[in-house]
Amino acid sequence: MTNDDLRTRALRYHAEPVPGKIALEVTKPCETQEDLSLAYTPGVAAPVREIARDPQAAYRYTAKGNLVGVITDGSAVLGLGKVGALAGKPVMEGKGVLFKHFGRIDVFDIEVNAETIDEFVETVVRIADTFGGINLEDIAAPRCFEIERRLIERLDIPVFHDDQHGTAIIIAAGLLNALEIQGKRLEDVRIVCVGAGAAGIASMRLLLALGADPGKLLLVDSKGVIHTRREDLNVYKRDFAADTECETLADAVRDADVFIGVSGPDVLTAEMLRTMAPKPIVFALSNPDPEIRPEIALATRDDLVMATGRSDYPNQVNNVLGFPFIFRGALDVRARRINTEMHIAAVHALADLAREPVPLEVLEAYGLEALEFGPDYILPKPLDPRLIDVVPPAIARAAIDSGVARAPWPYGPTPRQQAGGAPAGAADAALRSALSD
């Protein structure tokens, strides 16, 4: 398919048969005069009074508990940059499609014209009562870090910047499995990350929380290695300034075990890859053009485990493995926030699922005869129906154990638990609990 063909099909897809990709639906009957009197006046006064007396009653009588705001300022939309809030709306609607399809979560997409951090934060704070959670999207670094921090401090619902933490969680899950395959341990390996924006910094923070050695981690931006001699670093990059003589990416990757790219195309050359340690791991996640193409990488090193951000290669690092199910679990226990403990729970749930036998329906969905844990399968497939039964309970349990949940464990025991196995969750119970006390 040519780019012109793709553009034409994409525009038609978004315009027909009605403009856009998401819509509202009515969940209660509205056929009789009595229905109308219950839906609006005078019956609606009853839940209004209940909520005025106890704000938590909004979770019982409104859609708040299953509603996420997907909010952007349009400053870093996909790979298109600062196109503006309104131009980001198709992406925010697309995020809504994924929330609904995979997590059974409703979404309002909100595009905010805000030049300053203060304006954006104040806008979100003033509308936050509408939602059970906030998903920040396509906000440029470094302002995204400050925006998220302020909103977490001021709001009592989960605030999650998916470009930071969603990407970090999927990278970490895939990396743990790649390390297992390569016979290495996270605390021992040398890691190089190219890209010091939202995804790069969040990913390195999460790997440190999982046990990576800070003395063996190098972060590289467009000007080279982030080291202690540089005087051009913002506060977020400064946290990763290394005491090293390395200046360039070529310096950094020599003898490195892991390369993580969240930057741009073709920055890792075959020559650089040859200098990496035995059994290297390369996550070249720039999309659509990775930091090194898999064909080049695999021709250069036959001892490699590789992932990309693309669906047409094995081991796609895809955020849809995370955010719908992370929010599902957080909403199901009315979490006040999504914390590091919940991030780590998501990492292990995803990593563990990839080690399980793959069901036939997944093979059929992807036209495969076989698929098993190994160099070409380190992460679950997005269409794996087990995700909603595995990840949300892990998130809910971490929220309860870390003290940020306001509702009790919402999932009944599954047949697997009753037989003495590990918790796997129950998607239908998850949906019911989102609107219950």
pLDDT digits (tens, 9 = 90+) for 367-385: 999 999 999 999 999 999 9
Mean pLDDT over each residue of the chain, to the nearest integer = 93
Q: Is the pLDDT of residue 89 over 90?
A: yes
Return the percentage of the chain with pLDDT > 90, whole number.
91
How are beta strands 133-136 and 258-261 bridged, if at all? unpaired
Q: Is the pLDDT of residue 300 over 50?
A: yes
Q: Does 377 participate in catalysis according to the annotation?
A: no
Q: Is the pLDDT of residue 144 over 50?
A: yes
Q: Is the pLDDT of residue 436 over 50?
A: no
Q: List the beta bridge partners of residue 227.
A: 242
Q: In order of start, what are the domains of the chain with their CATH numbers? A: 18-157 (3.40.50.10380), 165-308 (3.40.50.720), 319-362+382-433 (no CATH)
Q: Does 40 participate in catalysis according to the annotation?
A: yes
Where would I find the beta strands (DSSP E) of 195-301? 217-221, 224-225, 258-261, 281-284
Q: In the predicted model, what is the mean pLDDT of residues 43-65? A: 97
Provide the pLDDT for residue 2: 79
Q: In the predicted model, what is the mean pLDDT of residues 251-264? A: 97
Q: Is the pLDDT of residue 327 over 80?
A: yes
Write down the number of H helices and E strands in the chain.
Answer: 19, 10
Q: In the predicted model, what is the mean pLDDT of residues 80-102? A: 96
Q: Tell me the C-alpha distance between 344 and 372, whole Å.
A: 24
pLDDT-based confidence at residue 434 (cuts at 50, 70, 90):
very low
Provide the pLDDT for residue 424: 38
Q: Give the phi and the psi of residue 311 in degrees, each rounded to 5.
A: -85, -10
Provide the pLDDT for residue 417: 52
Provide the pLDDT for residue 432: 36
Structure confidence by residue, pLDDT tens digits, 211-222: 999 999 999 999
Q: In the predicted model, what is the mean pLDDT of residues 266-285? A: 98
Q: Tell me the C-alpha distance between 312 and 154, whole Å.
A: 41
Q: pTM, whole model, 2 decimals?
A: 0.92
Order across the sheet with 217-221: list the strands: 224-225, 217-221, 191-194, 258-261, 281-284, 305-308
Long-range pairs, 246-251, Cβ under 8 A, ≥24: 246/218, 248/224, 249/192, 249/194, 249/220, 249/224, 249/225, 250/275, 251/225
Provide the pLDDT for residue 224: 97
Q: Residue 203 corresponds to which amino acid?
A: S
pLDDT-based confidence at residue 242 (cuts at 50, 70, 90):
very high
Catalytic residue among 95, 184, 237, 381: 95
Q: Tell me the C-alpha distance between 21 and 107, whole Å.
A: 12
Provide the pLDDT for residue 3: 78
Closest by alpha carbon to 171, among 212, 142, 138, 143? 212
Q: Is the pLDDT of residue 344 over 50?
A: yes
